[in-house]
Structure 1
Amino acid sequence: MPRSHPNSVTIPVGVVVRRTPGVTRWAKYAWTVTDILPGAAPADWKVLRSEGDVTEYHAATLPLTLYVPDAEAYAHELQARIPSIYTVLRPNAESGGVPWSVALVTASPYEAQDYCDSAEELVEKLPMPHGLHALIVEFVDKHYEEEAFVKRRRKNARVDQTDDGIGDARIRQTTDVYRAPRRREVAN
């Protein structure tokens, strides 16, 4: 569902998909996302390169939109050892020789994780290109403020009372709840 935010940033990103021969009799081809192209022109499964049975396609160009409310997720991704971009491929209903359609490109690991919960989509993680990395770093620096941790306290807690070891006053008990349990004597 498209969202809009006044300070969001959008950049077109092309998705490169590689088709290789399948290694089992059940899959004729294996499809993997191999690269992204920041600032790419529109494309619809345009062949980029073909060597033998291996073909690379510029599958689609989708907008990568950075939203201010998601700045924490982008900051989290930038702290990873290898910052990444995520692509989501969906099974193509109108199979015209291409079994996948590119559904989403995102820099948010949280959004990508939501798509991983279903086994329907194919989620691929790709290293973030340097130019895109610089754009996201600038966006995070401008819009992200880390919230200070505040320990949660119980509301209306009575701290002036002391525990007497008897437990909840509403439950009838004759002894201390913290006592060691007694052994029951077995009658012969």
Structure 2
Amino acid sequence: MKLNYPNAQTIPLGVVVQRSPGVTRWTKFAWKASSVLPGAPDADWKILRTEDGVTEFHAATLPLTLYVSDAEAYAHELQARSPSVYVVLRPNDATADKPWSVALVTASPYEAQDYCDSAEELVEKVTMPEGLHAWIASFVDQHYEEEVFVKRRRKNMSVDQTEDGIGDPRIRQVSDVYRAPRRREVIN
């Protein structure tokens, strides 16, 4: 089901997954999302290259959709030292040669954090290519307006009270309420 969102923009984004030899005897291979390909055609675990036991696959092409409601998150990510997109991989038990399925690609660090809360998915941070960075920056410039900080002013404060902060006004006292207690003398 495709939903229409006003002012949303979408681009197809290919996900490159790297398989390298495992470093322990319990893990045969280590998998990670290594890069993205903006505007890539559809693919299903197409081998891109193999070198020294490391294989890179064009695992899938998913839509990267930017929403106006998430423009603040995109602006936050663009200010990072290394702006990135996030790839969410889910375990796929169907085949041993394709142990992961690409579930989502997002430019929002807030959405990626939501997927990190679950231990089921693998969330990989992948550096944005320059063209993708420019496209997202253009979207942010067009749709994001930083909210101006307005200091809240106190209301309903009565400043004409004469006994402001001096004891309980219901109890009548002749002397200072902050006086030190005196010791009572006992007469025999």
Normalised TM-score (structure 2): 0.83
Q: Is the counterpart of residue 14 in structure 1 residue 21 in structure 2?
A: no
Change in CA separation of 1:93 and 1:23 when aligned onto 2, cut-off 3 Å: same
Distance (whole Å) between structure 2 residues aligned to residue 73 and residue 115 of structure 1: 15
Change in CA separation of 1:123 and 1:166 when aligned onto 2, cut-off 3 Å: same
- Residue 56 of structure 1 deviates from its aligned partner by 0.7
Amino acid at match of 2:123: V
Distance (whole Å) between structure 2 residues aligned to residue 184 and residue 56 of structure 1: 86
1:37-69 deviation per Cα after TM superposition (whole angstroms, max 9, x unaligned): 000000111111112421110000000000011
Query: Residue 158 of structure 1 corresponds to which residue in structure 2?
Result: 157
Distance (whole Å) between structure 2 residues aligned to residue 165 and residue 184 of structure 1: 26
Amino acid at match of 1:150: V
Query: Residue 54 of structure 1 corresponds to which residue in structure 2?
Result: 54
Structure 2: gaps spanning 5 or more residues: none
Distance (whole Å) between structure 2 residues aligned to residue 96 and residue 82 of structure 1: 33
Distance (whole Å) between structure 1 residues aligned to residue 33 and residue 138 of structure 2: 26
Structure 1: gaps spanning 5 or more residues: none
Change in CA separation of 1:16 and 1:151 when aligned onto 2, cut-off 3 Å: same
Amino acid at match of 2:63: P
- Residue 173 of structure 1 deviates from its aligned partner by 10
Change in CA separation of 1:100 and 1:173 when aligned onto 2, cut-off 3 Å: farther
Query: Residue 128 of structure 1 corresponds to which residue in structure 2?
Result: 128
Aligned with 1:141: secondary structure?
Answer: helix
Amino acid at match of 1:63: P
* Number of residue equivalences: 181
Amino acid at match of 1:160: V
Amino acid at match of 1:61: T
Aligned with 1:105: secondary structure?
Answer: strand
Amino acid at match of 2:135: L
Contact in 2 for aligned 1:48/1:58 (Cα 8 Å): yes
Normalised TM-score (structure 1): 0.83
1:64-120 deviation per Cα after TM superposition (whole angstroms, max 9, x unaligned): 000011111111111112111111111114235211111111111111111111111
For 1:14-163, list aligned pairs within 5 A: 14-153=14-153, 157-162=156-161
CA RMSD of aligned residues (A): 2.8
Distance (whole Å) between structure 1 residues aligned to residue 19 and residue 134 of structure 2: 30
Aligned with 2:150: secondary structure?
Answer: coil
Change in CA separation of 1:35 and 1:166 when aligned onto 2, cut-off 3 Å: same
Distance (whole Å) between structure 1 residues aligned to residue 84 and residue 77 of structure 2: 7
Distance (whole Å) between structure 1 residues aligned to residue 9 and residue 111 of structure 2: 17
Question: After alignment, is 72-81 or 48-57 more displaced?
Answer: 48-57
Contact in 2 for aligned 1:22/1:29 (Cα 8 Å): yes
